[in-house]
Amino acid sequence: MKNKNLLITGCAGFIGSHTVDCFLEDKNYSVFGLDKMTYAANEKNLKLAFENERFKFYKGDICDSDFVENICRENNIDWIINFAAETHVDNSISDSKEFLKSNFLGVHSLLEVCKSNKNVKLFQISTDEVYGVASDNVCFSENDKLNPKNPYSATKAAAEHLIKSYVNTYKIKTLMVRPSNNYGPRQHLEKFIPTILNSLKNNKKIPIYGNGNQIREWTYVKDTAKAIKFIIEKSDYNQCYNVTSNVEMKNISLVEQICSILKKDFNDNVTYVEDRLGHDQRYSITNLKIKNLGFKKYSNFENNLIETINFFGESFK
Active-site entry in 21, 61, 78, 129: 129
137: left (phi over 0), alpha (psi -120 to 50) or beta: left
Active-site entry in 35, 128, 160, 248: 128
Instruction: Give the number of residues written for the chain.
Output: 317
Q: Cα angle vertex 75, ends 70, 81, to 5°?
A: 85
Q: Hey, what amino acid is at 53?
A: E
SS3 (DSSP) at 223: helix
CA distances from residue 157 to 21, 25, 210, 224, 308 in whole angstroms, order as listed: 28, 32, 26, 20, 30
**Environment class of 135 (CB within 10 Å of its CB; exposed 0-12, middle 13-18, buried 19+):** exposed
Q: What is the dihedral of CA 87, 34, 36, 52, to 10 degrees?
A: 100
* SS3 of 170-192: HCCCEEEEEECEEECCCCCCCCH
- Cα–Cα distance for residue pair 177/127, rounded to 1 Å: 7
Catalytic site includes residue 152: yes
CA distances from residue 303 to 179, 210, 265, 308, 309 in whole angstroms, order as listed: 20, 29, 21, 9, 10
Active-site entry in 29, 152, 183, 220: 152
Residue 183 bridge partners (DSSP)? 220
- Cα–Cα distance for residue pair 223/27, rounded to 1 Å: 19
Catalytic site includes residue 129: yes
- Cα–Cα distance for residue pair 162/177, rounded to 1 Å: 15
| Positions marked active-site | 128-129, 152
